[in-house]
Amino acid sequence: MGDRGKWTAGDVPDQSGRVAVVTGSNTGIGYHTAAVLAKHGARVVLAVRDLDKGQAAVKKITRAAPDAQVTVQELDLSSLESVRAAAKALGAAYPRIDLLINNAGVMYTPKQTTVDGFELQFGTNHLGPFALTGLLLPRMMRVKGSRVVTVASAAHRIMAQIHFEDLQWENGYNRIAAYGQSKLANLMFTYELQRRLAAKHKSTIAVAAHPGVANTELTRYLPAFLRPADRLLMPLVVQSAAMGALPTLRAATDTAVQGGQYYGPDGIGEQRGHPKLVDSSKQSQDVELQDRLWAVSEELTGVTFPV
| Residues labelled as active-site residues | 179
> Would you say 243 and 214 are in contact if contact means Cβ atoms under 8 Å apart?
yes
Q: Could you give the count of Cα atoms lying within 13 Å of 278 in the half-sphere of its Cβ?
A: 29
Kindly list the strands in the beta sheet with 19-23, ordered across the sheet, starting from the edge strand earlier in the chain: 69-74, 43-48, 19-23, 99-102, 146-151, 204-209, 262-265, 275-277
> Would you say 185 and 285 are in contact if contact means Cβ atoms under 8 Å apart?
no
184: left (phi over 0), alpha (psi -120 to 50) or beta: alpha
Which one-letter DSSP state was computed for residue 125?
I
d(CA 30, CA 17): 20
d(CA 97, CA 255): 17
Closest alpha carbon to 181 in 71, 296, 94, 80? 296
Closest alpha carbon to 202 in 290, 252, 143, 264? 143
